[in-house]
Structure formats: C-alpha cells, structure tokens
Amino acid sequence: MAVGVFDSGLGGLTVLDAVSKQLPDVPFVYFADSSHAPYGVRDADDIYDLTTKAVERLWEAGCDLVILACNTASAAALRRMQESWIPKDKRVLGVFVPLIEALTERQWGDNSPPREVAVQHVALFATPATVSSRAFQRELAFRAIGVDVEAQACGGLVDAIEEGDMILAEALVRSHVDALKRKMPSPEAAILGCTHYPLMQETYQEALGADVKVYSQANLVAASLEDYLKRHPEMIGSGQDSGFLTTGDPEKVSRHATQFLKRKINFTKA
C-alpha cells in the first residue's frame, strides 16, 4: 500500500514529512536522484528522462501512485508524462495543483471560466527551469484573470540547502527577494515554488515583509493527497514498507537528510 515521493534531491523531504504526518498508516518510499541534482539548471528533455527513470524505480518498489515532490519535474515533465507515458493503472501527481487550488480558492476539477481572485500581484520564487517553463503561470491563467505573476529564478539556493550551508542560503534568499522587489515592489502573495524553499520560509517572510502571504506546498500537498486517496483508494500500491532510495552516495545523503529533517534518516542505493 506504499505511495512514492520523488525529488531530485532532499527538498521533497518537506513534502514527505507533511504527508507522513497526515497519513500515518500509509508507507511512503522516497526517491532522491541526488547524483543528478539539481534539476533546476537542466533542459526539459533531460529532466523528463531522469524523472521517468525515477518514477519507474518507484513503481518497481510497489508504488502505483507517485508524487513528484519537485516543482522542476512537475513543471518540465509531468504534462508530457501524463499525455503519452503513464500506464492506465498508474498515477503521477505534481505539486502545483494544491497550490493553485489554494491561491484561486477553487477545486482543480472546476472547469468554469477564469474569474477574478483576491490576490492580484504574486511573486513566484523557483528554480531556473521552473521559471522558464512558465507552467505555473499557464495553469493559473486557466483559473484566474487579472493576476500579475513576477517570477524570480533563485539560482544557487538549492545547492546551498543540499550542502547544509544555511548562511549562504539565507544570503541568497535575501538577494533574490531584493531582485524580485525591483521588478514588483509590492507583491501581495509569494509562492515558494520549490520544495527546498520551505526550510527558508522564515527568511523569505522577513525579507518580503509581514503583509505578504507566503505559500509553501508541503501541508497543501498532504491535505490534497489525503483527499485523493479517499476518492481513489485503489491507487495505493502493493508495497508494504517505507524506505529511502538515492542514486547518490547513501552515507552522504543520509547525513544531509538527517540534518534536513532533524531525525535519523537512512538511505540505500537505488
């Protein structure tokens, strides 16, 4: 009955932590493609190839449902996977949907015409690949009108977080927020469009100001997954055990993951 959670590195652990608390009886298998991280600087074809290989490995582990806890993979690969690659008995879900549902206050299946929403000026902080894909803006435009989205590519931030260099990560966050504010001086809301970024949410909030509502994804994804599994219980796979897989050095990845979640994590070689 396992569910897979995939990220290029350790950022998806923020999602794993949230879904594990929301669904304590469901085993989760986490896959970190650490040897190829970060995805945010790769081109779309490369991201697609790496993501499909990782998803296949999670299917082998008994996870018929896989969460792409990676905004870059969700932005650059998911639509292509859903259109032509995923078998009928499998499901792969991204992390954009719950975020856009929260921002627009409407369910994903609501296909009524786009309408005005409360927030008009939105800052999007994401990896270069997610920004260049314009996937978030495209999905938002289907559901809302009159929303101005200003995207800021946060180069170097994922690397700093993966290496545990939080001093550098904090400096990068403040630099990227300054750059965003030069383009959009008064955002009403900010999207942390990478699953690594919730670790820096306090720094983002401080840099943006208390009047800016900051959206991160972990808890939104957890609530959405619980609802999805209630509606589609058949998508809980045959796997019985939780686990952590990586394409990188398991000892190094385990050490960083333990620092990341502040509890002991043991990865094995994928």
What are the sequence ranges of the domains in the chain? 3-94+218-269, 97-215
Q: Residue 231 pLDDT more than 60?
A: yes
Instruction: Give the per-residue pLDDT at 216.
Output: 83
Structure tokens at 105: 């206050």
What is the per-residue pLDDT across 154-198, written as a single tens digit (0 to 9) for each?
Answer: 999 999 988 889 999 999 999 999 999 999 999 999 999 998 999
What is the per-residue pLDDT across 190-203, written as a single tens digit (0 to 9) for each?
Answer: 999 998 999 899 99
Structure tokens at 23: 């669904």
CA triple 255-258-262, angle to 5 deg: 150
Going by pLDDT thresholds of 50, 70 and 90, the confidence category of residue 88 is very high
Going by pLDDT thresholds of 50, 70 and 90, the confidence category of residue 253 is very high
Listed in sequence order, the DSSP H helices in 23-92 are 44-60, 71-76, 78-84
Do the Cβ atoms of 87 and 73 come closer than 8 Å? Answer: no
Nearest 5°: phi and psi at 3? -120, 135
Strands 213-215 and 144-145: unpaired
Give me the mean pLDDT over the 212-239 stretch: 89
Instruction: Give the per-residue pLDDT at 64.
Output: 94
- Residues taking part in catalysis: 70, 194
CATH architecture of 3-94+218-269: 3-Layer(aba) Sandwich (3.40)
Q: Do domains 3-94+218-269 and 97-215 have the same CATH topology?
A: yes
Q: How far apart are CA 88 and CA 212, in angstroms?
A: 41
Q: Residue 10 pLDDT more than 60?
A: yes
Q: Is the dihedral of CA 97, 197, 68, 65 positive or negative?
A: negative
Q: Which residues neighbour 119 within 8 Å (Cβ) at sequence distance 6 or greater?
A: 103, 147, 188, 189, 213
Instruction: Give the per-residue pLDDT at 261.
Output: 84
Strands 243-246 and 28-32: parallel
Q: How far apart are CA 67 and CA 55, in angstroms?
A: 9
Overall CATH class of domain 97-215:
alpha beta
Give me the mean pLDDT over the 63-84 stretch: 94
pTM above 0.75, yes or no: yes
In Å, how far are 13, 89, 161, 170 from 166, measured between CA atoms? 17, 41, 6, 6
Q: Residue 108 pLDDT more than 60?
A: no
Give me the mean pLDDT over the 124-151 stretch: 90
